[in-house]
Structure 1
Amino acid sequence: MARFIFITGGVVSSLGKGLAGAALASLLQARGFKVRLRKLDPYINVDPGTMNPYEHGECYVTDDGAETDLDLGHYERFTGVPSKQTDNVTTGRIYQTVIRKERRGDYLGGTVQVIPHITNAIKEFATANLEDEDFVLVEIGGTVGDIEGLPFLEAIRQLGYELGNNAVFIHLTLLPYIAAAKELKTKPTQHSVKELRSIGIQPDILLCRSEQPIPQGQRRKIGLFCNVPEEAVIQALDVRTIYEVPLSYHKEGFDEQVLKAFGIMDAPTPDLSKWENIVDRVLHPEGEVNIAVVGKYIELQDAYKSLTEALIHGGIANRVQVNINWVESERFEDADASPAAVLGDAHAILVPGGFGERGAEGKIKAVQYAREQKIPYFGICFGMQMAVIEGCRNLAGMPNAGTSEFGHYDPNVVGLMTEWTRGNKTEVRTKDSDLGGTMRLGSYPCDLTPGSKVNEIYGVSHIDERHRHRFEVNIAYKDVLEKAGYKFSGLSPQGDLPEIVEIADHPWFIGVQFHPELKSKPFAPHPLFESFITAAVKQSRLV
């Protein structure tokens, strides 16, 4: 039977529960255990698919097409275990499920209540669709004390009782440092644990975020007031790179205390050489490159979390430091604005995904600059579409080309997808469809053109990549664009959906309709990001 580890957070938000769970899971993996990670999100949205990136950060997409919380990206990057639709649930989805059952009459006319109906649905989600995992780590979003999180805390309280010795509770808190007093304060942690215990949950382990080392006396005090063994009060100090977290946690005995809480005393010693190598490459680079990311959500960099990490992974593969210059695309939209002043010191330029008209013309200018100045260019999703529009306007004699996402252009070389194939099923959408969950989502196959740049990079002729888009480049313009110098080097198996474009007469110019950043990992950098950073290194030697 799988053992469950429930991770809650207190004092303040953004302490890093997702990263803590991912790092702990990687340590358990390093000891030979099989793990799965899950996230319970208390917000009422059914999923983050329709949420503004400024509100929630990145929407992470799984192979099976789920739009999920960005923490699932941490889970995959640290463990390599592909997340599934069943690994993230929200209050909205839980209530949606229960209300549908009520409408069907599944409750036989009974009164539907938070307890037991909502809590039972949460418990069913947390324990369903498991295989032979040794440990299931379940993160509860939000902070203890939030009203919307109460049903989830009640559900895991019940699960803890039902699972008995097969459940452990970890509470992540903050120990603020008062500079004037030169002292770490334990009172917020005491109050947070008190709040948790009032719900009926006694944490087995406290993971305490701190900017300063926690004196032994303070740990003893926390343990005494929170009813936790002193050795189970684990300090979580800031580290130089997030990929150092597993090493730091192991040094503090975190994984050992978790195993001890389960009564496991004979676990194999973890093999951490993988993480030691990654950290060494991050902290001791042999050079550096400047990458300009021309986007529209740059004020909140969590909106591009997987992208940031994938670029770092490309740096790890090339043993270079990647300096990311976040550029607001709107700054190029004035008629007299020149990208050269901002992008002149960039060794490579990347235009990521996005939605909406704001900043689009600025992205097109960035594409043009990269193409004309022979600077390595990587366009992802919307960035590929803008590259195609730029090519149509400036190379193929279609100065009014555009996308139907913003209105009617002459011609619309990018248009709304209305029908596509997923496996043996035809998916159909219209412009009036709901926004949530209606895009081309999840992993789809792509055939690469033999001898193309991407064929060389991947080393195979068939790939599967994750998608999240509603608009698609129109295949009808393939011939005219290829005559102008573009090459459609990746197509869907049916040959009707352009997946990849490239320019052969360019150091490195590739646009992809999918999101390769979602599959990149520090110990297995995505081939496109590895190659992109290699091109940036070559460019750095030319300037």
Structure 2
Amino acid sequence: MAKYIFVTGGVLSSLGKGITSASIATLLQHSGFKVSMVKIDPYLNVDPGTMSPFEHGEVFVTEDGAETDLDIGNYERFLNKNLSKKNNFTTGQVYLSVIEKERRGDYLGKTVQIIPHITDEIKKRIKDVAKETDIVVVELGGTVGDIEGLPFLEAVRQLKQEVGKNNAMFVHVTLIPYIKAAGELKTKPTQHSVQELRRIGITPHILVCRSEKPLPKSLKEKLSNATDVDRDAVIEAVDAPTIYQVPLNFLNQDILKPIAEQLDLGELHPDMSEWNYLVKKIISPQKSVKIAFVGKYLKLKESYKSLIEALIHSGAHLDMRVDIEWIDSEELEKLSEEEMEERFNEVSGILVPGGFGERGVEGKLRAIKYARENKIPYLGICLGMQLAVIEFARNVLNLKYANSQEFDPDTTEPVVYLIDEFIDANGQKQIRTHKTPLGGTMRLGGYECLIKKGTKLYDAYKSDKVIERHRHRYEVNNAYEKQLEDNGMIISGKSKEGLIEAVELKDHPWFVGVQFHPEFTNKLKSPNKVIMSFVENAYKCQKSC
């Protein structure tokens, strides 16, 4: 029987339940267990795919094409494994499933209620993941006391009763605020949060206490007495220089001891040597490089979470700190040529990430033109690749009206266009059938990319075939392929159906655009190869360009 660790949050949101959950899972994985994770989101959206980045941050895409919470990305990066649509579900998915069953008559005329029908659906989804693993860590989104989270708390309370006391436990992540005027750390919010949990039948076995300052022994004892949590199970979680330090901090506080005792796991001795080595490289690297990150969601950098982490991971493996120069693409639209020169003067690489919508596009095009003309290493991801093709078409092919149908549906030069059907490499018509709720077509999840030998992309992957994840609905128009290649743009990657997956420039130190999102397959222990190649070549340019 699989064992369960349920992670709840108290006092307020954004305390780091996801990192806490991933850290515990990582320590157990390095102790030899087969570990998986589940993130439960209490919002009514079926998934975050239609949410603005300002609402929810990044939408992470799994190998099987699910649009999920960004915490799934953290889980994958910590555990060095691919997760699936099973590992993230929402209130919307649960209620939709129950209502569909009711409409089919699955409940045989019974009154459908929160208990047992909704709670049974929640338990079923958690158990589906548990079938494949030794230990499953389940993070419950939101904060204890939120009305929308009550069915989930009731479901996991029931599940603990069903599996027995040595097969389930609760970890509560809470805040210990520091009141500057009083010069004191306060435990009262945590006491009330635990009381709320206990009122609904859940007693936490471990407290993870977020705080700006280390917790004195006396305060831990006070928390232990007030919450009925063992003294050695009160774990402090002060801010760390990197999130990857958190498992090591937990290990130093012997967090595995109360976990092993509650779940009857025996003595645990995780091998964290490789992890510790990489953390040291993140914190104290020998080299550094500055990358310009040209985006439009800079007020909420969580929108680019996976890409930021990918740059950090690549730097760790290259013993290098990647300094990100954040550049708002809308600001670039207003700059003179002299100001552009000044803005990019100190960077050694330029990155344009994915995104949707026309806002900030002209600024991104200016950044791409600057990278191309000044021989600065460039990486364009998804929209960043499409814009590289548009810039090239306008300024090298002299196609004045070259554009994407996303921005101008009536453009006379649709170098990037929306297609619902296309002719594959074998001359057969293929129809894209994945429809979003908004009625558009999207490529979501892992697709095979066939890589042309002798290209920068091939040098990065050391392979002629790779599977990377997509999240987009527009494609580079194959009708312009010959014109592009005749004038110095190499089509370095294609899908098996013949869609253009990657481009690069012939006479440039390193200029690569990819239609896929390489950041989604990136892990701490196995950084994505094209992103690492970009960072490495940016550093070379810093030394020689």
TM range (shorter): over 0.9
Q: Which residue of 1 aligns with 2:47?
A: 47
Q: Equivalents in 2 of 1:174, 1:453: separation in Å?
A: 48
Partner Cα distance (1:384, 1:435) in 2: 24
Shift in CA distance, 230/426, structure 1 to aligned 2, threshold 3 Å:
farther
1:524 corresponds in structure 2 to 526
Which residue number corresponds to residue 184 of structure 2? 183
CA distance in structure 2 between the partners assigned to 1:311 and 1:34 by the alignment: 28
- The alignment status of 1:482 with 2:501, answered yes or no, reads no
Deviation at 1:434, TM superposition (A): 2.7
Query: Whole-Å Cα distance in 2 between the matches of residues 246 and 186 of structure 1?
Result: 24
Distance in 2, Cα, partners of 1:59 & 1:397: 36
Q: How far apart, in 2, do the equivalents of 1:82 and 1:418 lie? A: 29
* Structure 2 CA distance for aligned equivalents of residues 47 and 68 of structure 1: 6
CA distance, structure 1, for counterparts of residue 151 and residue 439 of structure 2: 24
The correspondence of residues 339-350 of structure 1 with structure 2, limited to 5 A, is 339-350=340-351
User: Alpha-carbon deviation of 1:334?
Assistant: 3.3
User: Cα distance, 1:254 vs. partner?
Assistant: 1.2
- What is the rounded CA distance, in whole Å, between the counterparts of 1:384 and 1:340 in structure 2? 22
Q: Which residue of 1 aligns with 2:517?
A: 515
Q: Secondary structure at the match of 1:92?
A: helix
Specify the SS of the correspondent of 1:339: helix
Of 454, 460, 465, the residue aligned with 1:457 is 460
- Supply the AA of the counterpart residue of 1:471: Y
Answering whether residue 245 of structure 2 is matched by residue 244 of structure 1, we say yes
CA distance in 2, matches of 1:266, 1:401: 64
Question: Residue 504 of structure 2 aligns to a residue in which SS?
Answer: strand
Query: What's the secondary structure of 1:491's corresponding residue?
Result: strand
**In 1, Cα distance between the equivalents of 2:286 and 2:175?**
36
Report the Cα distance in structure 1 between the residues aligned to 2:149 and 2:218, rounded to whole angstroms: 33
Report matched runs for 1:239-278 at 5 Å: 239-267=240-268, 269-278=269-278
Match of 2:98 in 1: 98
Structure 2 residue aligned with 1:447: 450
What letter matches 1:317 in structure 2?
H
Please tell me whether residue 297 in structure 1 is matched to residue 297 in structure 2: yes
| 1:428 paired residue number | 432
**Alignment-derived partner of residue 364 in structure 1:** 365
In the other structure, the counterpart of 2:400 is 399
Contact 1:246 1:275 in 2 (8 A): no
Deviations 1:61-87 (A, max 9, x none): 000000000000110001112110101
Distance 2:402 2:464 in 1: 31
Q: Is the 8 A contact 2:449 2:465 kept in 1?
A: yes
> Which position in structure 2 is the counterpart of 1:7?
7
Task: Using the TM superposition, name which of 98-107 and 435-444 deviates more.
Answer: 435-444
Equivalent positions of 1:105-124 (< 5 A) are 105-124=105-124
Residue 411 of structure 1 pairs with residue 413 of structure 2: yes
For 1:394 and 1:342, how far apart are their aligned partners in 2?
Answer: 21
Contact 1:294/1:326 (<8 A) preserved: yes
For 1:274 and 1:46, how far apart are their aligned partners in 2? 38
Query: Shift of the alpha carbon at 1:401?
Result: 0.3
Distance in 2, matches of 1:130 and 1:261, equals 18
Provide the rounded CA distance (Å) in 1 between the counterparts of 2:180 and 2:391: 53
Compute the displacement of 1:221 (Å).
1.0
Determine the structure 1 residue equivalent to 2:542: 540
The Cα offsets for residues 222-264 of structure 1, whole Å up to 9 and x where unpaired, read as 1111111111111112111111111111001112221121122
The percent identity for this pair of structures is 52
| Residue 426 (structure 1) shift | 5.9
Distance across 1 between alignment mates of 2:59 and 2:93: 16
CA contact (8 A) 1:419 1:429 kept: no
Q: Which amino acid aligns with 2:82?
A: P
Instruction: Say yes or no: does 1:319 pair with 2:319.
Output: yes
1:417 touches 1:429 (CA, 8 Å); kept in 2? no
Change in 2 beyond 3 A, CA 1:436/1:80: farther
Q: Distance in 1 between matches of 2:108 and 2:287?
A: 68
Distance 1:244 1:198 in 2: 34
Question: How many Å apart are 1:364 and its aligned residue?
Answer: 0.8
Compared CA separation, residues 356 and 207, structure 1 to 2 (3 A): same
Q: Distance in 2 between matches of 1:34 and 1:139?
A: 17
> Does the 8 A contact of 1:175 with 1:188 survive in 2?
yes
- Tell me the CA shift for residue 345 of structure 1: 1.3
Shift of 1:131: 4.2
Counterpart of 2:521 in structure 1: which amino acid?
K
**CA drift at 1:279:** 1.4
**TM-score, length-normalised on structure 2?**
0.96
The CA distance in 2 between the partners of 1:47 and 1:286, in whole Å, is: 41
Q: 1:129 to 1:5 in 2, by over 3 A?
A: closer
Evaluate the alpha carbon distance shift between residue 425 and residue 266 of structure 1 in structure 2; reply closer, same or farther with a 3 A threshold. farther
SS in 2 for 1:369: helix
TM-score (norm 1): 0.96
1:154-193 matches, cutoff 5 A: 154-164=154-164, 165-193=166-194
CA-atom RMSD, angstroms? 1.8
**Structure 1 regions of 5+ residues with no counterpart?**
none
Counterpart residue identity of residue 377, structure 1:
Y
Which letter maps to 2:344? L
CA distance in 2, matches of 1:417, 1:66: 21
User: Secondary structure of the residue that 1:293 maps to in structure 2?
Assistant: strand
What code does the residue aligned with 2:526 have? A
Provide Cα deviations, 1:183-217, integer angstroms capped at 9, x if missing partner: 21111100110111111111111111112111111
Residue deviations 1:34-71, cap 9 Å, x none? 10011000001100001000110000000000000000
Residue type of the partner of 2:139? E
* Whole-Å separation in 2 of the counterparts to 1:426 and 1:94: 33
Partner of 2:356: 355
The Cα offsets for residues 139-166 of structure 1, whole Å up to 9 and x where unpaired, read as: 0001111111111111111111111121
Between stretches 69-78 and 435-444, larger displacement belongs to: 435-444
Asked whether the equivalents of residues 80 and 524 of structure 2 are also in contact (C-alpha less than 8 Å), the reply is no
Q: CA–CA distance in 1 between the matches of 2:258 and 2:489? A: 57
Distance 1:200 1:436 in 2: 44
What is the total number of aligned residue pairs between the two structures? 538
- CA separation in 1, counterparts of 2:176 and 2:429? 53
Q: Which residue pairs with 1:332 in the alignment?
A: 332
The 8 Å contact of residues 355 and 382 in structure 1, kept in 2 or not, is answered as yes
Match of 2:502 among 500, 503, 509: 500
1:203 alignment counterpart: 204
Instruction: Give the SS at the match of 1:340.
Output: helix
SS in 2 for 1:128: helix
